[in-house]
Structure 1
Amino acid sequence: MYLTTDTKEFRASNAFANLRVAAVAAAVVALVLTGCGDGKKSDKASQTAAKVNKEEITVHQINFVLQHQQGLKPEQAEAAGKQVLERLIEQELAVQKAQELKIDRDPRVVQQIEAAKREIISRAYVERIGDAIAKPTNDEIAKYYNEKPALFKDRRIYSLQEVAIEARREQFAQIREKLQNSKNMTDFAEFLKANDIKFTGNQAVRAAEQLPLAGLDAISRMKDGDSAISQTPAGLTVLFLVGSRSQPVDEEHARPAIEAFLTNQRKSEMVQKDLKGLRDAAKIEYVGKFAEGAASAAAASSAATLAPTAHEAPASAALNASDISKGMGLK
């Protein structure tokens, strides 16, 4: 989109989905435990789902996999648990054979294992920092709702046409003038063709939350039939607002998304502050070719790369497609 700017996005709360997955996982645990014995066996035995040669696959391993499967329904629990178990058996067989062949000692494999370990540990630390974040108050949620009318009470669904034009700077004035005088995009496109100006076009229907947050206010001020033009490295981009329709979201339905966004925003800020403090307190020495420009590179790096909740790019996560149809009660 022509107004795209790096912005923090926010995602609607997945609390209900997580609760449902947890419930399904618990159901699978119960099912597996029921089939594991008569209660007289040890707790260790009751947690064993299968034995592969001398190694055991436990219910906890199945549970862990199921917790990461979104959209699983309770009635699918038993079948899902069995499928996961079969995959774990195949995985264990592959691991045992790899160990037999000493693949686990391959330098490349060891390096990958260490990299994954570091990633998991560092993210766990970041998540622990975020656990201390206080939830936003009702007043803070209401304030954000009122400050973003284009996302909520004045929310619209936009039908947009975008034209990316390859043009030289000396052609800009002519193109802008023709755009102002064109009746529609077809008329404007014919002008570009006639003047051998290369362009590509696309059309889409986008809800307010699917547009870049930095440009949403400007787009929300456009009326049906309006157009906007912006400069790009390759030339110009023209945006036509073909039409729009109102589809507001009241504060009650927007509350979960706003609460999630404000919480995630605070987590990101705290993580960045904490990592900056760690950097300042640490003795970091760049060596060799990495010493050149190290200061500027360090300043440009963002602690948000470790944060699980801070993202840059589209503003769509305010109310994503799933939220619109489910969490926000819209059709």
Structure 2
Amino acid sequence: MQEQTFPAARSHRVLVLAAAASLSLVLTACGGGKSEPGVPAAKVNKGEVTVQQINAVLTAQRVKPELTDVASRQVLERLIEQELAVQKAVELKLDNDPKVLQQIEAAKREIIMRAYADHIGQKVTKPTDAEIAKYYAEKPALFGERRIYNLQELTIEASPEQLTALRARLATAKTLTEFIEFMRSQQVRFNASQAVRAAEQLPMGVLDAVARLKDGQSLVVPNANGMQVLYLQGSRSNPVDETRARPAIEQFLSNQRKAELAAKELKALREAAKIEYLGKFAEKAPAAASAPADAASLLAPSASEAVK
């Protein structure tokens, strides 16, 4: 099942974003690039933290305008601590460590790649009112008929032979408890959990199937190690009207178009490039046509974004 984001993780994300925003400090110290001078927000020994760095973190974190003052001071303190750590690392010559240099180069390439993806995304037109309305109408389980589900989830590890017997037993079991007792008698390994999930917290691949369940019914979802059973204990209606859903749908459709355009652009780049696989990679070189599938991940949207 899709993991949920908890408030406790927010402080960690701030630190991660702060690290990304001040990567230029490390790049400059290592001779990896030059950063343009900014407006100082704090002097830290012979270095400084700039307003531009703070704003970069706030933008990435999507901080609400009314919270900017408080958040900017918190980010400043994190960046000061990071600047101190960077200065000490440079003093210890850790910036010349081969592993560190490799990580910096990887981060630099990632940032440049994202810049290219953003550049591609600028070509995408906004979804029309008709397209937004169509998407809303095509996803009733996510919007107009949205429900909150009380699910009992069983994650089962089993061989293909065992799965056949388990499916048959699940179909004939009068209660989930009866099915669980059968698995125990067969020494089948499984984990049980209970969760309350909104429609958008379910994987899009199973949402429609879960939406069709009635209380007391179950759904089998195959996975690499066996299967997962979703048992619907109960649910309640909690629809989202089109007006409320519109901003998220517009963002989702825009991201989807960007992902498709990124895949198309990278496919064209591959076709125009001269790529030669060497060493062991030359033995089973992938077909060029299959590569762009991963390219779409540059901007691939999360399906759950369409409701939040």
TM-score bracket, shorter-length normalisation: 0.7 to 0.9
TM-superposition CA deviations, 1:287-331 (whole Å, max 9, x none): 1122122224872461023x2x3146xx43322xxx3xxxxxxxx
Distance 2:112 2:38 in 1: 30
Matching residue of 2:300: 310
Distance 1:54 1:170 in 2: 68
Distance 1:209 1:89 in 2: 38
Matching residue of 1:193: 184
1:105 and 2:93 aligned: no
Q: Using the TM superposition, give the Cα deviation of residue 286 of structure 1 relative to its aligned residue in structure 2, in angstroms.
A: 1.4
What pairs up with 1:136-285 in 2 under 5 angstroms? Answer: 136-172=127-163, 174-285=165-276
Provide closer, same or farther for how the CA distance between residues 117 and 181 of structure 1 changes in structure 2, counting only shifts above 3 A. closer
Provide closer, same or farther for how the CA distance between residues 188 and 296 of structure 1 changes in structure 2, counting only shifts above 3 A. same
Range that drifts further, 285-294 or 121-130: 285-294
Distance 1:90 1:72 in 2: 24
TM-superposition CA deviations, 1:228-279 (whole Å, max 9, x none): 3354454443321111111111111111111111100000000110011111
TM-superposition CA deviations, 1:118-142 (whole Å, max 9, x none): 2211110110110121000000011
For structure 2, list consecutive stretches of 5 or more residues without a partner in the other structure. 3-36
Distance 2:280 2:252 in 1: 40
Matching residue of 2:50: 58
What pairs up with 1:104-143 in 2 under 5 angstroms? Answer: 104-143=95-134
Provide closer, same or farther for how the CA distance between residues 281 and 222 of structure 1 changes in structure 2, counting only shifts above 3 A. same
Q: Using the TM superposition, give the Cα deviation of residue 85 of structure 1 relative to its aligned residue in structure 2, in angstroms.
A: 3.9
TM-superposition CA deviations, 1:210-245 (whole Å, max 9, x none): 111122222211111112335445444332111111
Provide closer, same or farther for how the CA distance between residues 256 and 182 of structure 1 changes in structure 2, counting only shifts above 3 A. same
Which has the higher relative contact order, 1 or 2, with Cα contacts under 8 A spaced 6 or more apart?
1
For structure 1, list consecutive stretches of 5 or more residues without a partner in the other structure. 5-44, 324-331
TM-superposition CA deviations, 1:144-201 (whole Å, max 9, x none): 1111111111111111122233445444554334323322211222222234333322
Provide closer, same or farther for how the CA distance between residues 228 and 111 of structure 1 changes in structure 2, counting only shifts above 3 A. closer
* Contact 2:144/2:241 (<8 A) preserved: yes
Larger radius of gyration: 1
Count of residue pairs brought into register by the alignment: 274
Name the amino acid aligned to 2:294. S
Distance 2:157 2:142 in 1: 32
Q: 3-state DSSP class of the match of 2:106? A: helix
Provide closer, same or farther for how the CA distance between residues 168 and 289 of structure 1 changes in structure 2, counting only shifts above 3 A. closer
Q: Percent identity?
A: 59
Name the TM-score, length of structure 1 as normaliser.
0.72
Name the TM-score, length of structure 2 as normaliser.
0.76
Q: Using the TM superposition, give the Cα deviation of residue 280 of structure 1 relative to its aligned residue in structure 2, in angstroms.
A: 0.7
* Contact 1:304/1:311 (<8 A) preserved: no
